[in-house]
Amino acid sequence: MNNTCVDLNKNKMAKPKKKKSKRQKLIKEIDDTRRDYIRKRDNDGDYTKCISCGAYCITTSLQVGHYYSRSHDFTTTLGSDERNVNLQCSPCNGVKHGNPRGYALGIIRKYGNRAIEELGDKKNQQKYWKIKDLEENLEMWKTLLDKIS
């Protein structure tokens, strides 16, 4: 009888990490650059207003929240519209699921009456983002970030 112990975790641990595709890497870099840009763009000093509920919160506690969820970013033409992404308090971004009604009012206050309709139109425009499109999008966020830094 063989008494050797079988390590059930061994196979799990040995599993190699799935390599990220070029596409996934680009989207991650876009996310990071856009987040840095939005943090600077919306920063109002030590305290900044949440786009959805209007509460003044410690700026560093705010999150970068999407009006239309990030799943639409690179399946539609929304991915290049900075109005879809704004600083938001964590309760609005979390338990209130984006607080969409407040978010819509916040967008209208910030960008004007037509912004919601225009964002909706973009959300309905399907787009396949090629690698080249993603690279251009990343450049766009980098340029915006450079200008504001």
Binding site for Zn ion (CB under 5 A): 50, 52-53, 89, 92
Of the CA atoms within 13 Å of residue 115, those in its CB half-sphere come to 18
CB of 146 to Zn ion, least distance (A): 29
User: Rounded to 5 degrees, what angle do the CA atoms 32, 99, 52 make?
Assistant: 75
The nearer residue to Zn ion, 55 or 131, going by C-beta atoms, is: 55
The nearer residue to Zn ion, 1 or 95, going by C-beta atoms, is: 95
Q: Please state the separation of Cα 116 from the chain's center in Å.
A: 18
CB of 43 to Zn ion, least distance (A): 16
The nearer residue to Zn ion, 92 or 145, going by C-beta atoms, is: 92
Measured torsion, CA atoms of residues 63, 64, 66, 69, in degrees rounded to the nearest 10: -80
CB of 49 to Zn ion, least distance (A): 9
CB of 10 to Zn ion, least distance (A): 46
Distance CA 149, CA 147 (A): 6
The nearer residue to Zn ion, 77 or 90, going by C-beta atoms, is: 90
Beta bridge mates, 85: 66
The token duo for 115 is: 């912004």
